[in-house]
Amino acid sequence: MPSSSLRALDALAAAAAVYLVKQLIDQWKERLPLPPGPPGVLLRLPFFGNMFNLPKHHEWIHYADWSREYKSDIVHFSVGREHVIVLNSAEAATDLFDKRSAIYSDRPWTTMSSELVGFGYWNIVFMPYSPQNPTLWRDHRRVFDRQMSPDGVKRFRPQETLAVHEMLRRLLAAPQDYADHARHMAGQTILSIAYGLDVKPTDDPYIKIGEIANDIVAATTVPGSWLVDALSFLKYVPAWFPGAGFKRQANEWRRVADAMLNEPFEITKAAMAQGTARDSVTALLLQELEDGPDRAYKERLIKGATAIMYGAGSDTTVVVIENFFLAMTLYPQVLARAQAEVDRVVAGQRLPDFDDQPSLPYITAILKELLRWQQVDTLAVPHKVTEDDVYRGYFIPRGSTIIGNAWAILHDEKTYPDPHTFKPERWLLPDGSLDPDAKDPTPFFGFGRRLCPGRHLATESMWLSLACIIATFSISKACDEDGNEITPEIVYNTALLSHPAPFPTVVLPRSRGHEASIRDL
């Protein structure tokens, strides 16, 4: 037999052997158990899975409880035919999201949020890897990362400082509206940086669009919250059909999402054509573009990146500041120590600024503890695994949604003793300096390759806000009609971004001198 024929037979035999080995491995994997979890319901209709017995609120706590009940830090449930795996420990999250990031970094495509509302087409937070354009997500991320590096965000400090000082003036005028002032500050910062836009003192339309868009994200991204996510064929039901309220709602929400994506971008683009545009990320990136066949594609990348700055960068800062007022109301000794620290540095002669950060480690520790104590994003944004996998003897099917329970990880008593108590000291050494070995609350910003690229800008804005409020205002418990102090309850809403429920507190300038320093800004 000719040698060429022998080589062909050898190649065929090798291919057959590889195929058989793969089949045996696949069969072995499929015989392995899924991670433990609650049983499904409606046994006569097994394709519903756990759809009707999932927790309706505070899912992160229920998922952590399942770990204790089933004695496993990874648990499983199903929504329709889709598998969902929840990781309730830092070890499991690191093993899968970091060490196996090559297959655990995709995003699930949900019919309601990704498709009908449209976030999956341009929002890099929710964008899956695209088989049609494998570089689409990476191209978006590259544009974002160029602007949001640790050193790169420092050029935005003047805008951040102006917005924080404006928040102090607004807080002086109406201290009970601190959440609204935080939202205005965050919106002013982001709109100025991303688009070079000024905002109105009240009822700014673009701040409102961003707020509504974040509410839409929260309403559409919780697994099991929309039947159309499990039964995707329902997307073809006409909006006028009885029972198709989800379709009408999606159409309304998509208009808001499109407005957030397009309107500020087009305003900046028009201002550039007229020569009146202010410095901004959008203007800078558009100026760098060269004409060519890929210009429209690159504009799309810029538009998506700046819209993410606009949307994701605002609400997170608001929730952290809300949590700060709650923590200072509940833990007055923390505020007193922070004020003593800032007074030693600025001596009441000026407001703290970014240059003071190395001299204010306790305020930095307060921020770290805020990110740990009550997370903005308790469950992070879900990932999707792109290949069948085996972990600790459990089978994880390709296409499963993988949720990192940031709340459970950051409330692990082994890593954070007494986790429900607000303790900035856990981030410090005995001499009061920051502990370089303390495990930072990075799950607050997501996991693995999907770690939030805007985290450096967000933490800078948060830090300056806290430092300036601590320097100038007192925060204390309110009293009832009989003069008894009211201790706020710690109650949070259920959403992708979890806000504390309104609570009573008293916010006043620390002295007439501090009040005057704010008025003189």
Cβ atoms within 10 Å, residue 135:
11
* Tens digit of each residue's pLDDT, the chain (521 residues): 555 555 555 545 454 444 344 444 444 456 799 999 988 654 444 556 666 677 777 888 999 999 999 999 999 998 777 899 999 999 999 999 999 999 999 998 889 999 999 998 888 888 888 666 678 888 888 887 888 888 888 999 999 999 999 999 999 999 999 999 999 999 999 999 999 999 888 888 988 888 888 888 878 877 667 888 888 899 999 998 888 899 999 999 999 999 999 999 999 999 999 999 998 999 999 998 888 888 898 999 899 888 888 777 667 888 899 999 999 999 999 999 999 999 999 988 899 999 999 999 999 999 999 999 987 778 888 899 999 999 999 999 999 999 999 999 999 999 999 999 999 999 999 999 999 998 888 777 888 888 888 888 889 999 999 999 999 999 999 999 988 999 998 887 766 667 888 899 999 999 999 999 999 98
pLDDT of residue 26: 46
Angle made by CA atoms 207, 264, 311, in degrees to the nearest 5: 50
Burial level of 325, CB count in 10 A (0-12/13-18/19+)?
buried
**pTM for the predicted model, two decimal places:** 0.87
* Distances from the Cα of 275 to the Cα of 266, 272, 283, angstroms: 14, 5, 11
For 388, list phi and psi in degrees, rounded to 5: -55, 140
Binding residue per annotation — 468? no
Bridge partners of 396, per DSSP, are 389
Return the CATH class of domain 32-519: mainly alpha
CA angle 179, 183, 188 (to 5 degrees): 150
Cα(77)–Cα(80) distance, rounded to whole angstroms?
10
Give the three-class secondary structure for 112.
helix
Residue 17 has a pLDDT of 45
What is the predicted pLDDT for the residue at 132?
Answer: 60
- Helix, strand, coil % in the chain, rounded to nearest 5: 55, 10, 35
CA distance 128 to 111: 13
Provide φ and ψ at 428, rounded to 5°: -120, 155
What is the H or E stretch that residue 318 is in? helix 295-330
The C-alpha atoms of residue 461 and residue 477 are separated, in whole angstroms, by: 26
pLDDT at 518: 94
- Per-residue model confidence (pLDDT) at position 44: 41
CA distance 321 to 181: 10
Could you state, in order of their start, the residue ranges of all structural domains in the chain?
32-519
3-class SS at 86?
A: strand
Contact between 210 and 310 (Cβ < 8 Å): yes
pLDDT at 27: 45
Output b/e per residue, 379-405; b: 16+ Cβ within 10 A.
bbbbbbbbebbebeebbbbebbbbbbb
- Give the list of residues 6+ apart from residue 412 with CB closer than 8 angstroms, or none: 89, 90, 419
Give the residue from 166, 196, 194 showing the smallest Cα distance to 182: 166
- Say how far apart CA 54 and CA 224 lie, in whole Å: 7
- Name the CA radius of gyration of the chain, rounded: 25
Please answer whether residues 85 and 402 qualify as being in contact, where contact means their C-beta atoms are separated by less than 8 angstroms: yes
